Structure 1
Amino acid sequence: MSRTPCSGAAPAYLRGMSDPRLPSSPGFWRSPVRGPWFTSVLGLVLLAGITVLFVTGLLSYAAYNPDLAPVNDKTPDKGLLGFYLFSWPTDPPWLYRLTQGVHVTLGITLIPVLLAKLWSVVPKLFALPPVRSFAHAIERISLLLLVGGALFEFVTGVLNVQLDYLFPGSFYPLHFYGAWVFFAAFVTHAVLRVPVALRNLREMRGAGGGDPLVSPRPDAPDVPDAPTVSRRGALGLVGGGSLLLFGTTFGRGFDGPLRRTAVLAPHGGPEPGGGPGGFQINKTAAYAGIRERETRDDAWRLEVVGRTGTVRLSRADLCELPSHGAALPIACVEGWSTSDQEWRGVRLRDLAALVGHDAPTDVLVESLQRHGAFRRAALRANQVGDERSLLALRVNGADLTPDHGYPARIIVPAAPGVLNTKWVARMTFGEL
């Protein structure tokens, strides 16, 4: 019995690979700048940068003392992802200013590198066949999660520092869970691809085919376009974009002329003007819903609750208690910070002693604030016990302004700005 030779159309994925009109064809992607060397350099930069971002992000999470849930940590069902290693320290007092400043500034600076890396590997998203082996399947899944996670984390992060909450839900849990998904994919992809990237760089350096920075060559014969920019030029464009973003971002961590150059950075609310209260704020009294009649000296009272009961104190009563000073900055999660301001008020540990707590203990602080997050915030015993932790009544030699928390606000060394509660109405000392 004779056999008829097999005939007919080629498989669909082979047709897709040969048709230059389809993105699955190498000929569709015509820039010779794309290639293993360019992708490897960008990948190694992101490997270092994103690792720093993840570590500083975990430190930012720790700074909220997340075991004081659900007051400080509003992440639902976090399980093992919400591991808690230590109470956030109060020394050095600029710690959160540094870690969060690095987190936000580096994240914005890496945006051109991320976009260039995605541009360099976009042909792989359309490569056929979609899966060649189990290892290749894991790599493709990690790649999809990596690209999606990176875009999600960077976009939501930029929107948050600009105070543009266009995404559904709360930024805090969205960014938290997104970070873990993204970093898991990032680690998986790095384990699979970093050895390849290092090998590509070694092979290109030792190939003797010219400087890969100067003379880009097509990586395949079906990429016909002549180069319009060298790899050196492409890296220069990416690096220049990153330097531009860095230069227009990092100044928000400093006072003076540099703050005015940070045109793309988080502004932390309206410009504060001059005088003793002329330093950055995030939310004004009007935004927070503070009514002037509530903060008048004849109306406002602070309730201090503890082991021996409740004490109600007017501002005049507080001014009669022993007064202490501390030079401390304010640092916000959006990445901006101030220089040291001269605060003066009553130590938190002295207020705890008024209601029967001779040893430092946790405290729940409640504000008159009606709008915005963190109307209630908790502080750990080590923060309460620090001699620089104050219920501040004055700053820079003058009474607090309404926007800075008059009649009284919390100021704690190294704490995120949102834990330095303004317009304090009630303080409850004891285990939370």
Structure 2
Amino acid sequence: MVRVGPPVGPSRPGFWRSPLRGPWLTSVLGAVLLVGITVMFVTGLLSYAAYNPDLGGNDKTPDRGWLGFYLFAWPTDPYWLYRLNQGVHVTLGIVLIPVLLAKLWSVIPRLFSWPPVKSVGQVLERLSLLLLVGGVLFEFATGVLNIQLAYVFPGSFYPLHFYGAWVFIGAFVFHVAFRIPLMIRMLRSGGLREELRRPTGRGAAVEADESGLVTPNPAAPTISRRGALGMVGAGSLVLLAVTAGQSIGGFLRATALLAPRGQDPGPGPNGFQVNKTAVGVGIRARDVGPAWRLSVRGGGRERIFTRAQLLALPQHRAALPIACVEGWSTEDQDWSGVRLADLAALVGFTDRAPGVFVQSAQLRGSFRSTTLRDNQVRDPRSLLALRVNGADLSPDHGYPARIIVPANPGVHNTKWVTRLTFGENA
């Protein structure tokens, strides 16, 4: 039942008394988010495409239907493409958190506007706000928890984040279509330079309040808008400083304090980041010991190899990084092993190597298998790697053999490989 009479509590005019709130401040924060969220959405779509989810064995998002209209064969050039894309996606998401929180703070009176129902148009706008605020909080929360290795939501991260992104972006576009004329007017009417020069004690410029954000009973100012925006910007810069190093690498990796895998794991040829450890996914000594064999199948043929026999085949080298969906990446590592195209030729695919279905010895956890496209198999840098930086792979890096493919998401560079099936399941 809708209450009759004047509103009370947070719906009462004058309840929200900050003199900073108003369409100008909200418009500035909104303009930053408009650009930032657009970039995040595009890089998120590209990240999903990089997993080649239309191939059997790769899809973690069932029944995506027409939402997968844009998917394409993920390229292997440039080899750092996924590293750059995912680094931008994750780092930008972290950096925008202070801006997002400030924007939500600036518009909180609208969430309690009274009466709750005035017209059909207002109902649609409030519904879009509900989806917008709920969607953005869900996307940022799932993303942050995933990269911090503390994912607690039910179900797989991939479908929840994917579908959540489409729900949010629909509400986002609807909201922008309604609000961008006001945002443009506010940014044009209140000069950024003049507003940022205004000291704390001065009243803000009079704003034609079409937004319902300006309080009729402002409290005494304790900070200027310049100071408020400065705090938001400083927060974003701090988060940039303690996050970006995990993607950039080099000496900046030591500054990635918020990255769970941002620090170097130790010296030596295998001293670079690890996603899943051998113990963590249930690899047993007998699975990767002297009895280990690699089965290579395709075209009705099968060849079985020991590790010594693989080392006796022509060896090739490739300098490639590992880049993870969590945003961290390594510098280029010097991998050596047998080309995937050469292994395809050994089972009869001498003219044009097809895709390959890769299976691992790991007993638990996700991505125990993956499918690579034919363009990935044919790239001369795509290897069944046996060594890295001049040394045998360590158990955590996939000994006896692992996949390494340029521009490939880290979890699809399968470790502890036991079987390669060319053509049939790819």
TM-score normalised to the size of structure 1?
0.92
Distance 1:331 1:36 in 2: 41
Q: Could you list the per-position Cα deviations for residues 280-326 of structure 1 after superposition, in whole angstroms to 9, with x for gaps in the alignment?
A: 11111111111112212x30000001004111100011011111000
1:351 maps to 2:343: yes
Q: Which residue of 1 aligns with 2:257?
A: 263
Cα offset for 1:210?
9.7
Q: Which residue of 1 aligns with 2:221?
A: 227
Identity of aligned residues (%): 66
Residue type at the aligned position of 1:187 = V
Q: Which residue of 2 aligns with 1:387?
A: 380
Cα offset for 1:211?
5.5
Q: 2:353, 2:378 within 8 Å by CA — same for their partners in 1?
A: yes
Match of 1:74 among 53, 60, 78: 60
Q: Could you list the per-position Cα deviations for residues 27-72 of structure 1 after superposition, in whole angstroms to 9, with x for gaps in the alignment?
A: 1101001111100000010000000000000000000011103x11
Match of 1:27 among 14, 34, 38: 14
Distance 2:168 2:376 in 1: 33
Q: 1:365, 1:427 within 8 Å by CA — same for their partners in 2?
A: yes
Residue type at the aligned position of 1:251 = G
Residue type at the aligned position of 1:409 = R
1:97 maps to 2:83: yes
Aligned residues: 414
Q: 2:82, 2:323 within 8 Å by CA — same for their partners in 1?
A: yes
Residue correspondence of structure 1 range 288-327 to structure 2 within 5 A? 288-296=281-289, 298-327=290-319
Deviates more, 1:130-139 or 1:211-220: 211-220
1:252 maps to 2:239: no
Unaligned runs of at least 5 residues, structure 2 = 208-213
Distance 1:416 1:400 in 2: 19
Residue correspondence of structure 1 range 112-191 to structure 2 within 5 A? 112-191=98-177
Cα offset for 1:14?
4.8
Aligned alpha-carbon RMSD (Å): 1.9
Q: 1:33, 1:216 within 8 Å by CA — same for their partners in 2?
A: no
Match of 1:201 among 173, 176, 187: 187
Residue type at the aligned position of 1:362 = G
Cα offset for 1:83?
2.3
Match of 1:402 among 391, 395, 409: 395
Runs of 4+ in 1 over 6 A off after TM superposition: none
Q: 1:252, 1:262 within 8 Å by CA — same for their partners in 2?
A: yes
Residue type at the aligned position of 2:225 = R
Q: Could you list the per-position Cα deviations for residues 172-229 of structure 1 after superposition, in whole angstroms to 9, with x for gaps in the alignment?
A: 11101110101110111011111111112222339x9996686453865632311110
Higher radius of gyration, 1 or 2: 1
Q: 2:131, 2:168 within 8 Å by CA — same for their partners in 1?
A: yes
Distance 1:13 1:92 in 2: 64
Q: 2:283, 2:363 within 8 Å by CA — same for their partners in 1?
A: yes
Distance 1:127 1:99, change over 3 A: same
Q: Which residue of 1 aligns with 2:211?
A: none
Distance 2:154 2:203 in 1: 44
Q: Which residue of 2 aligns with 1:5?
A: none
Q: Could you list the per-position Cα deviations for residues 60-92 of structure 1 after superposition, in whole angstroms to 9, with x for gaps in the alignment?
A: 0000011103x1112121111122432000000
Residue type at the aligned position of 1:166 = V
1:339 maps to 2:331: yes
Q: 1:348, 1:384 within 8 Å by CA — same for their partners in 2?
A: yes
Residue correspondence of structure 1 range 363-374 to structure 2 within 5 A? 363-374=356-367
Q: Which residue of 1 aligns with 2:39?
A: 52
Residue type at the aligned position of 2:367 = F
Residue type at the aligned position of 1:66 = P
Q: Which residue of 1 aligns with 2:27?
A: 40
Distance 1:101 1:338 in 2: 11
Q: Which residue of 2 aligns with 1:7?
A: none
